[in-house]
Amino acid sequence: MGRLTDKFTLITGGTSGIGLATAQEFIAEGAQVAVTGRNPETLAEAQRLLGDKAWVIATDAGNVQAQKALAETIATRWPRLDAVFINAGDVSHGPLDTWDEAMWDRLMQTNLKGPFFLFQALLPLLHNPSSVILCGSVSAHIGLPGSSAYAASKAGLLSLARTLSGEFLSRGIRVNGLSPGPVATPAFNKLGLSGEAQQELLKEITQLVPIRRMGTPTELAKAALYLASDESTYTVGTELLVDGGTGNL
């Protein structure tokens, strides 16, 4: 029997990178899995890779009404949710003087506002017991130049993991943060850099990691699996750093 047998699970931003790897781990452990994304190409590719073992849903993680619609859609097919991994995120970085209000709003809507209202919308579906995992970032702990808005959004999300865990403890809903360090994912392709510039950036980022390599999506997926499973029933309102030592060494 798998570690998630008979569990209904939702992974936002589940069509590539950490989210996709987590979906694959969850499926391998017996879960019913729904993943979300908004890029038609990655949605189609996720459906191809995951097959009929996953429910692939198109939605915008930064739109409040879309969060309500997502909850309503899930309720049409599933009786409950046992685990939710809120993983969708905007990874935009840049020096302070390059940001404008529209860029700030777009990032915060995806990384903080959307997750807040998705949690609210999913409340009627969340089982007792259930696990909600919020994807933070080691950036919330380090002063990485160019990460000001991104790090602030992730710090806010990690704060929600603590406060909402306290708020819903009596309902059996465990909330925890999962914070990756630098991970080799397709997200780096969204930065708009040339191939050479991107490779230079990856080299610089790797130097921040004490073990001198970037993490893999599967390493983060296995941590998400632990938090989603019954193995973590005593893990509540905390943050699991999976970062190669970046935030502590």
pLDDT tens column, 106-133: 999 999 999 999 999 999 999 999 999 9
What torsion do the CA atoms of 136, 15, 34, 26 make, to the nearest 10 degrees? -70
Could you give the CA distance from residue 225 to residue 248 in angstroms, rounded to a whole number? 23
pLDDT tens column, 133-151: 999 999 999 998 889 999 9
Return the residue matching tokens 């893999």.
216
Q: Provide the percentage of residues in the chain whose pLDDT is more than 70.
A: 98
Residue 193: band (very low, low, confident or very high) from pLDDT cuts 50, 70, 90: low
Of the candidates 8, 26, 55, 150, the residue annotated as catalytic is: 150
Is 150 among the residues known to form the active site?
A: yes
Q: Considering the entire predicted model, what is its pTM?
A: 0.96
- The residue extents of the domains of the chain are 8-188+216-242
Paired tokens of 55: 């429910």
Residue 60: band (very low, low, confident or very high) from pLDDT cuts 50, 70, 90: very high
Angle at 74 between CA 35 and CA 160, to 5 degrees: 70
Angle at 10 between CA 243 and CA 42, to 5 degrees: 75
For domain 8-188+216-242, give the fold: Rossmann fold (3.40.50)
Instruction: Give the residue-averaged pLDDT of 217-238.
Output: 98
